[in-house]
């Protein structure tokens, strides 16, 4: 069974490369505050973008983006709040998901901009 940390790192590298090619600046990877973590913090056009990356080898059990649960969303929102305060950021903030399906035959990257919102 592949190492989950290695898979997570691979997914984050694929996502980071994708974002940079689309014109995003990467501000942080694997940013942590206490027990909370944000996979990628990026920016584009004065917008702070909090990115959750999900990599799966297939969609047999569901699409990768379906695994960003409401509980995970709440944790990302809380972590983003700490990051924004710590860095005194006054930009619009958006929560995106990058869903990656990767196996020996397929590499599919889907970017869901504004995938969820605080308070919804």
Q: Domains in the chain: how many in total?
A: 1
CATH number at residue 57: 3.40.1350.10
Distance (Å, rounded) from C-alpha 7 to C-alpha 38? 16
What does the pLDDT average to over 37-55? Answer: 96
**11-20, 69-78, 100-109: the lowest-pLDDT one:** 100-109
Which contacts qualify for 40-47: CB closer than 8 Å, 24 or more apart? 40/12, 40/15, 40/16, 40/98, 41/83, 43/91, 46/91, 46/92, 47/91, 47/92, 47/93, 47/94
**Reported confidence tier of residue 2, pLDDT bands at 50, 70, 90:** low
Cα-Cα end-to-end distance for the chain = 36
35 C-beta neighbours (distance < 10 Å), count: 7
What does the pLDDT average to over 77-92? Answer: 96
pTM for the structure as a whole: 0.90
pLDDT tens for each residue of 4-45:
666 678 889 999 999 999 999 999 999 999 999 999 999 999
Residue 49, pLDDT above cutoff 80: yes
Average pLDDT over the chain, rounded to whole?
90
Q: What is the pLDDT of residue 59?
A: 66
**Reported confidence tier of residue 50, pLDDT bands at 50, 70, 90:** very high
Which tokens in the block code for residue 43? 């920016």
Which tokens in the block code for residue 4? 């989950």
């Amino acid at each position: 069974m592949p190492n989950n940390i290695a898979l997570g790192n691979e997914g984050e590298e694929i996502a980071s490369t994708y974002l940079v090619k689309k014109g995003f600046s990467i501000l942080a990877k694997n940013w942590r505050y206490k027990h909370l973590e944000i996979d990628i913090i990026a920016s584009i056009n004065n917008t702070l973008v909090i990115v959750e990356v999900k990599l799966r080898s297939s969609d047999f059990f569901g699409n990768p983006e379906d695994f960003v649960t409401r509980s995970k969303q709440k944790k990302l929102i809380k972590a983003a709040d700490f990051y924004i305060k710590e860095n005194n950021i006054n930009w619009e903030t958006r929560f995106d998901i990058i869903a990656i399906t990767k196996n020996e035959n397929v590499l599919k990257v889907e970017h869901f901009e504004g995938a969820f919102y605080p308070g919804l």
